[in-house]
Structure 1
Amino acid sequence: MDAFIVDAVRSPRGQARAGGALAGVKPVHLLAQMYEAVAARTGIDTGAVEDAMIGCVSQTGEQGSNIGKIAALYAGWSPAMPAATINRFCSSGLSAVGLAALQAAASDGLAIGGGVEMMSRVPMFSDNGAWRNDREIAEATHFMSPGIGADLVATRHSISREACDAYAALSQQRAASAREAGRFAASLVPVRDMAGMVVLAQDETIRPGTTLGKLATMQPAFAAEGEAGGDAMLLRHFPDLDAVHHVHHAGNSPCMADGAALVLLASRQALQRHGLRARARILAVADACVPFVQTGAVEATRKVLDRAGLKLSDIDLFEVRDSFAAVTLHYVRTLGIDMARFNVNGSSIALGHPMGATGAMLVGAALDELERIDGKRAVVAIPGAAGVAVAMVIERAQ
């Protein structure tokens, strides 16, 4: 693919609660600040940007009306730039970057990919979609909540509560160490309120005091949902199982968060035309879907490596949304990935998951870490609801 990453920016992740640091910031304002940062850091003529693709899962209320376009206008970008807001569940942000890369390559120009999600202001499922809220449609299409689905992965693949807690503690430790060492600084854009005061400059979601002992005291989060009918539905579809083991809780599941991120992409000719320097090239993008469960990232990773003509051993880093711990451990074990190359600075369990933005955040995280360690290639992957997944291979520009 002839598409290059010029720059990547993100907001700090805020806790998705009423008192969270970003809860007083409107979604349009947050995303607009990312647009402003891209323009300031790269010096581009925004009228030369061919298109913007923005991921957002809950496209209702303050996040409705094509927020990707409205935020660009609010940021003072040229009205000549179109934009689209897309929803592919948790993988929306990475899909948006992939689509923008295709747009840049096809148009021989510039494009923006990214995402936004303000879960403190527009809660998960607030769009009242039929998949979850229409019982007939939910049953006909086998709707499964993410938590129940993650517990199914743990049950089917014999992943214990202890293993899940150990991974969650590792994610927290790595994220806390990375924040302390300033490893996130290159991409971070401090968020300001309407008065221009900085309200958040560092990720608010990390819990550095997390221990195995504390995690062991937490009650399963999805057992009640299982008792209310979720387990029975799963056992009908998987008759080889005797029961569903509920191993996930708030400490080993992704924490909901507020945040936004953008990636500026360009074709080879556009780099020269606009005097820009590429930080990386996107070698390949692949989508996959595995029915019922959130394990599609395994297949998406295999597909994207095959498309890029690479092997697992050719990859220096894996940046994968560590959604629920069992889903993440299944990915690592199935592909045989060395943990020394995997989510080395923590991921969504510690850092948080602003759904539509996470994929774009991971692209920036992978690029920053490749540059820090002088690595060459990274895989970025996200599993999501309905088994949908996206994977991307990026390679540092020479």
Structure 2
Amino acid sequence: MPEAYIVAAVRTAGGRRGGALRDWHPADLAGAVLDEVVRRAGVDGAGIDDVIMGCVGQAGEQAHQIGRNAVLASNLPASVPAVTIDRQCGSSQQSVQFAAQAVLSGIQDLVIAAGVESMTRVPMGLAANLPQQHGIGGSAWSPRIQQRFGVPEFSQFAGAEAIAAKHGLSRADLDAYALESHRRAAEASLAGAFGDEILPLAGLDREGAQIVHSRDEGIRFDATLERMAGVEPILPGGIVTPASASQMCDGASAMLIASERAVRDHGLQPLARLHAFAVTAGDPVIMLEEPINATRKALAKTGMAMGDFDLFEVNEAFAPIPLAWMQALGADPARTNALGGAIALGHPLGASGARLMTTLVHALRRRGQRWGLQTMCEGGGIANVTIVEAL
């Protein structure tokens, strides 16, 4: 059987919306991680067969094929091709899976899977709202879709509330989980646990002075339950608040996926092996519950059990998602988002998939552990699962 290996993995530190990375054009931000992942692997950039770039907000500075523009902004030769994909929040996790599929098929040998999102410079929803601002077009959900599912739109906020209600989660449960995300992220950051995965970049402080941006900016080191309890819900009468939701964020991430042949020919040192993948789709109304089904599919496909895994990364789009996932599958909370998640570290939409996997692979290796599973909820009721074996 052919194999696909992760031979380098890097990310930027998350920048708050309007924060340290506000001065970075997203193509330049993505170009920086492309350069770094090639440098870390020690390969000739001219040998890269393709770049697969995840990005959700493909408008404004992220329009005109941001994957290709990232290559043009990098030190890679212009002969390196690229493509941009959108599987919503799972875009760059899907980039990894597409890259692995290309390598496993024998068609390509060195593929960069990456993602980028500047939520400062390309606000969420910009692509959907621009036509309406010019007096043309309507909703992305056609009358036929609305009639089929009986809703005027699909709302991630309503979905998060529905998951909380379905799984019996309270406001106190969500706030406690969010606080633990910040606590774990703060502990990991202070201990230098993210050091191997972060590419330090020039940034700006609040006053506009130059700084080195090397720490995730969204971590609240002084978070308390009392403060969280005072945050108003996102939806009237709801229990999900901005404090128990992922933070809007600027960031980029990249992984180099290599074939066995490339590992041998270039003398590469794999960090991990990509073991198995799954992608499933379900109810687009509740939307964010699908990681449960996707995980079950991946387990059935591989014959693995939840107890086989050392670490899990479950994207913290909203606190109900990992809580419901753990409850439904019997996952160990201590192994789930052990270094905090998007509630503390931020969720740069198109970059989050490869960001989570970068963190997962580095954490497994640092701890001397073997098996990791990553999953993410995605708009439209889709979810990806990727299983990796650290080497």
| TM-score (structure 1 length as normaliser) | 0.90
How well do the aligned residues superpose, as a CA RMSD in angstroms?
1.9
CA pair 214-102 structure 1, distance change in 2 beyond 3 A: same
What residue in structure 1 maps to residue 100 of structure 2?
101
Deviation at 1:32, TM superposition (A): 0.8
Counterpart position of 1:158: 168
Distance in 2 separating the partners of 1:206 and 1:137? 42
Question: Does structure 1 residue 11 correspond to structure 2 residue 3?
Answer: no
Output the CA distance in 1 between the equivalents of 2:145 and 2:15: 31
Correspondence 1:380 to 2:374? yes
Pairwise CA distance, 1:135: 7.0
Give CA-to-partner distance per residue, 1:316-345, whole Å, 9 cap, x none: 000110111112210010000111111000
Q: Is the 8 A contact 2:49 2:108 kept in 1?
A: no
Aligned partner of residue 356 in structure 1, secondary structure: helix
Deviation readout 1:284-317 (Å, 9 max, x if unpaired)? 1110112122011111111222223311111100
Instruction: Report the counterpart of residue 54 of structure 1 in structure 2.
Output: 53
Partner of 1:126: 126
1:85 corresponds to which residue? 84
CA distance in 2, matches of 1:256, 1:108: 34
On the 8 A contact 1:190/1:198 being kept in 2, the answer is no
Q: Which residue of 1 aligns with 2:230?
A: 217
Q: 1:264 aligns with which of 256, 259, 276?
A: 256
Deviations 1:340-378 (A, max 9, x none): 111000000111100000010011111111012110000
1:227-306 to 2 correspondences below 5 Å: 246-291=238-283, 292-293=285-286, 294-306=288-300
Secondary structure (helix, strand or coil) at the match of 1:310 reads coil
**1:33-65 per-position Cα deviation (integer Å, ceiling 9, x unaligned):** 101111222221112111111110010110011
- Native 8 Å contact 1:305 1:393 kept in 2: no
Matched, 1:348 2:355: no
SS in 2 for 1:9: strand
The residue aligned with 1:190 is 200
1:69 positional shift: 1.3
- Mapped to 2, the partners of 1:386 and 1:329 lie a distance apart of 20
* Superposed CA offset, 1:190-240 (max 9, x none): 12369xx654111111111111111111111112xxxxxxxxxxxxxxxxx
Q: Secondary structure at the match of 2:222?
A: coil
Structure 2 stretches lacking a partner, 5+ long: 130-136, 205-209
Q: Separation in 2 of the partners of 1:102 and 1:135?
A: 33
Measure, in 1, the Cα distance between the counterparts of 2:77 and 2:303.
Answer: 39
1:67-95 deviation per Cα after TM superposition (whole angstroms, max 9, x unaligned)? 11111122121222211100011111101
* Shift, 1:154, TM fit: 1.0
Number of matched residues? 373
- 1:395 to 1:60, Cα distance in 2 relative to 1, 3 A: same
Counterpart AA for 2:47: A
Larger deviation, residues 146-155 vs 131-140: 131-140
Contact 2:114 2:254 in 1 (8 A): yes
Task: Indicate the larger mover: 255-264 or 137-146.
Answer: 137-146
**In 1, Cα distance between equivalents of 2:389 and 2:261:** 18
Match of 1:313, SS state, is helix
Q: Secondary structure at the match of 2:388?
A: strand
| Matching of residue 114 in structure 1 with residue 121 in structure 2 | no
Q: CA deviation at 1:134?
A: 5.8
Q: Distance in 1 between matches of 2:230 and 2:20?
A: 28
Question: Mean alpha-carbon deviation: is it higher for 278-287 or for 104-113?
Answer: 104-113
Q: Is the partner of 2:231 in helix, strand or coil?
A: coil
Percent identity between matched residues is 35
* Unpaired runs of at least 5, structure 1: 224-244
Say whether the 8 Å CA contact 1:30–1:191 is kept in structure 2. Answer: no
Secondary structure at 1:386's aligned position in 2? coil
For 1:127, what is the secondary structure of its paired residue? helix
For the residue of structure 2 that corresponds to 1:77, the secondary structure is: coil
Residue type of the alignment partner of 1:14 = G
Q: Distance in 2 between matches of 1:136 and 1:199?
A: 49
Q: Which amino acid aligns with 1:165?
A: D
Asked if the contact 2:31/2:74 (under 8 Å) is kept, the reply is: yes
Q: Structure 2 length as normaliser, TM-score? A: 0.91
Partner SS state of residue 127, structure 2: coil
CA distance in 2, matches of 1:132, 1:332: 34
Deviates further, 263-272 or 134-143 = 134-143
> For 1:331, which of 320, 325, 330 is the aligned residue?
325
Aligned partners of 1:9 and 1:188 also within 8 Å: yes
Counterpart of 2:216 (choices 177, 185, 203) is 203
Give me the whole-angstrom Cα distance separating, in 2, the residues matched to 1:208 and 1:137: 47
> In the alignment, what sits opposite 2:353?
359
